Amino acid sequence: MASLKEMRNRIGSVKATQKITKAMQMVAAAKLKRAQEQAENARPYATRMASVIANLAAGVGDDGPRLMTGTGADQKHLVVVATADKGLAGGFSTNVIRAARDHINSLIANGKTVEIVAVGRKSRDQLTRLFGDKVVKTFELSEHKTVGLHAAQPIAELLAEKFEADEADKVTLFYSQFKSVISQVPSSRQLAPAEVDVDASADAGALYEYEPSEEEILETLLPRNLTTQILAALLENQAGFFGAQMAAMDNATRNAGDLINSLTLQYNRKRQAQITTELIEIIAGAEAL
Amino acid sequence: MAGKLNFSLVAPEREIFAGSVDQVDAPGVEGDFGVLPGHAPFMTTLREGVVTVYDGAQRRRFDVKGGFADVNGEGLSILAEEASEIVEG
């Protein structure tokens, strides 16, 4: 049985931990608000981009640029897995990686060639352990102070390059969709060939005039769309990460509180027992005289 | 004049401007163009330059770097890679 002093120390250390988790929770909450705003602010651009592309796609048909129509094959898959750089956010990164892992395993089982691009340190660490040299490139987000276009651009450029160079037939992105503060859903999205949402077209069939030609517009627009989609996913990821971290830290704070309560109870009981023993000894000693 | 023109200027990070205006001038790759309410559907890429928004006696100017302009039945939207308002001094 631990001595009273040891127990006091233990309670002290749990209290210190609780202070840290509490602070982290509040920091995550503040950052979450900003990340959420950022994700929401980026949404109009993405939706408009989708509707413009849908408009264009309706007019171009099958002979559009490669990023839209694809290579026609389904052999070489490029899987992008975006997670957070840091931990202490519960199963946030693990959930995304698990979804990606299942997808990759089923692709491999079907005899496809798979290459992996890891975005975020957690994704890099775990995927290299799982799939080794299938991870062809990694990106770290912590190099950038904020998640913005400059973070999404290099990723998009690499993907477009690989796609154009015939090194990939399909590009899929795994990320965590931000549903709410307490719910982040691992999701995937096909980046290339571009999925065209026909319903997003504002007024399909309208007679458009194009300057320069439709093809040229599409050619510049599609890589940009790639960037936008990656940026949107990164922003959702960021918001989701802080949400997950907040929830995880809230749990930890509460656990620490429970632990402190039960330790304090034990400590008080033990102290009382000791006092009683000492009293008995004194009384017994006095009676003996 | 057929009412007002719905105009929105969005950058990837945020929406910079949204509202009804009288006229918008923008720098297209093949030449500057102006959009009035009721313009025919039209799409173009933009070069670096200045987008000018006219609303009544008011005039606001925005610096844009590359992007797209899409005019359709609902109005004009400009998707800029980068955009910022020029503060008149």
A58 vs A230 pLDDT, higher one: A230
How sure is the predictor about A68, in pLDDT bands with cuts at 50, 70 and 90? Answer: confident
The count of domains in chain B is: 1
pLDDT of residue A64: 66
Is the peptide bond between B37 and the residue preceding it cis, with omega within 30 degrees of 0? no
pLDDT of residue B40: 86
Mutation site for B-interface testing, chosen from A48, A220, A234 by largest number of B Cβ within 10 Å: A48
When mean pLDDT is compared over A121-130, A155-164, A274-283, B55-64, the highest value belongs to A274-283
DSSP secondary structure string for all residues of A190-258: EEETTPP-GGG-SSTT---EEES-HHHHHHHHHHHHHHHHHHHHHHHHHHHHHHHHHHHHHHHHHHHHH
| pLDDT beyond 60 at A199 | no
Contact residues of B toward A, CB < 8 A = 8, 10-15, 28-30, 40-45, 68, 70, 72-74, 77, 79, 81
Chain B hits for A212, Cβ within 8 Å: 29-30, 44-45
* ipTM of this predicted structure: 0.77
CATH number at residue B10: 2.60.15.10
A147 vs A4 pLDDT, higher one: A4
Chain A residue at shortest CA distance from B17: A44
Cα–Cα nearest to A65, from A162, A157, A163, A156: A163
A41-245 carries CATH number 3.90.1150.10: no
Is pTM beyond 0.90? Reply is no
Q: Which architecture, in CATH terms, is A4-23+249-288?
A: Orthogonal Bundle (1.10)
- Mean pLDDT calculated for residue range A169-174: 90
- Mean pLDDT calculated for residue range A173-196: 84
Chain B hits for A204, Cβ within 8 Å: none
Expressed as residue numbers, the domain containing B35 is 5-86
Residues 6+ apart with CB under 8 A from B87: none
In chain A, list all ranges with CATH 3.40.1380.10: 41-245
Which of A52, A148, A149 has the CB atom closest to B70's CB atom? A52
pLDDT of residue A1: 58
pLDDT of residue A192: 76
DSSP secondary structure string for all residues of A105-168: HHHHHTT-EEEEEEESHHHHHHHHHHHGGGEEEEE-STTSSS-SHHHHHHHHHHHHHHHHTTS-
